[in-house]
Amino acid sequence: MNPGKIAIIVDSGCDVPNEYLEQYDIRVVRLKLIYGNHIYNDGVDITAEDVYDRYPEMPKTSTPNVYEVTQIVDQIRKDGYEKILGISISSGLSSTYSTMATALAQAEDMKTYMFDTKNISFGAGIWAIYAARRFENGADFDEVCAELERKIYDSHLGYYMDTLEWLKHGGRITPAIALVGKVLNLKPIISCDKNGIYYTVAKARGSQKALTKLVDLIAPPELAGKKYWIYAMHGRGKEFLDRAKEMVRERIPDVEFMPEKQITPSMACNTGPGLLGMGVLMLDDDTFPAKGIVAKSKEVFAEGMEKAKEATEKAAEAIKHQMEKVDMDEAKEKAREMSVKARETAGKMTEAVKQRMENVDVSEMKEKAKETAAKMTEKAKETIGHFTHPSDKQE
């Protein structure tokens, strides 16, 4: 137990390697995989290999419920911890964050904090290792929680995908896109944007070009000399992992990788075999090299803002052009004509009512007619009010 008696909870989608879970006593909330009537705990009684072997049968996934998280919190309390830091994959990709946050909020006798990483897999889980080491060295709970929020975009993760079939099967891309990708041998590299949503960072034709692109994004030569943690994970893609690590070593000879692992089953069922994930966490507020994945994200954002600005300017110009075509004198004249017609219509309606009243001999019917006339006259006044041009109103 660390000096501050601070426990850390992650969800299984954070992909934290077992050696770290054991070393820092990190507790795990398990996502669920569902095949028919069978429910499996993510990474416990089912593996990524099991998911690959059962294809094309695809599981459904579900998040843990509040009760399951509460049970873990109760055990943490019994174990003598006084504070809890919760860490989850992006709230933009899963409701696990809200579930964990709800459960932690109910632990009123303990100090808690829930961190939304805006990331996926070990791009999220690496924050648990960072926090655990800070707590182990005596860092204050509030201090570390503030650091996580400040450094949230210092964790950069990219995934190379060798096949698009699983994305197609899961409904994430259309069959047409999958077919084009297969014919052109396109290999996408995906990541999470600043809102924690998947986006395509780059595409390349062929595995070698795609792997090179991934390494360019995550481990450019400029990384040498900076303080960072770098890691690699795979989904039945060990050969890609080994090739990518060798490429990194050619650029940064003294690089040290964190322990590698195969991705969790809940990630495997969405991406398919031949997956390679590589990421880096910048330490001590070092700036990530400009050619990295965050720079690409900023470029995409900046490009979008520039396009939005251009569209706004074009719309403003179009409105100005249309306004120049409007003849204000003509518009005023039309308004006056409508006002005059409204008065004429009201007068005719009133006269017609009076004539009908004069022809009625029964007093009861006359009384009803008067009521009707009064209502119609009031309505006519309202009509005149709507159509009267300001210049026609009496002072």
pLDDT at 181: 84
Q: Note whether 241 and 108 are same-domain residues.
A: no
Q: Note whether 227 and 121 are same-domain residues.
A: no
Q: Which two tokens stand for residue 238?
A: 């060990």
- Does 69 reside within a domain? yes
- Does 307 reside within a domain? no
pLDDT at 356: 55
- Does 172 reside within a domain? yes
What range defines the domain where residue 139 resides? 6-152
State whether the Cα torsion 8-9-10-12 is positive or negative: positive
Q: Note whether 13 and 147 are same-domain residues.
A: yes
Q: Note whether 366 and 256 are same-domain residues.
A: no
328-358 helix and 363-387 helix, angle to the nearest 10 degrees? 180
The CATH number of residue 223's host domain is 3.30.1180.10
Q: Note whether 92 and 110 are same-domain residues.
A: yes
Q: Which two tokens stand for residue 35?
A: 């095949």
**Helix or strand holding residue 275 (H, E):** strand 275-282
Each residue's pLDDT tens digit, 174-209: 888 778 788 889 999 999 999 999 888 999 999 999
Amino acid at 143: E
pLDDT at 329: 61
In the chain, how many domains are there?
Answer: 3
Q: Note whether 217 and 115 are same-domain residues.
A: no
Cα–chain center distance at 364: 71
pLDDT at 125: 97
Q: List the chain residues with pLDDT less than 50.
A: 290-292, 294-298, 300-302, 304-305, 308, 312, 360, 362, 383-384, 386-395
- Does 321 reside within a domain? no
Q: Note whether 106 and 215 are same-domain residues.
A: no
pLDDT at 294: 47
Q: What angle do CA 23, 116, 162 make, to 5 degrees?
A: 80
- Alpha-carbon Rg for the chain, nearest whole angstrom, is 34
pLDDT at 301: 43
Q: Note whether 54 and 161 are same-domain residues.
A: no
Cα–chain center distance at 50: 29
Structural contact between residues 14 and 87, judged by C-beta atoms closer than 8 angstroms: yes
- Does 312 reside within a domain? no
Q: 3-state class of 240 per DSSP?
A: helix
- Does 320 reside within a domain? no
Tell me the backbone φ, ψ of residue 3, rounded to 5 degrees.
-55, -35
Q: Note whether 111 and 162 are same-domain residues.
A: no
Q: Note whether 116 and 223 are same-domain residues.
A: no
Q: Note whether 103 and 219 are same-domain residues.
A: no
- Does 311 reside within a domain? no
The CATH number of residue 97's host domain is 3.40.50.10170
Residue 32's beta-bridge partner residues? 41, 62
Q: Note whether 137 and 170 are same-domain residues.
A: no
**Helix or strand holding residue 57 (H, E):** none
- Does 317 reside within a domain? no
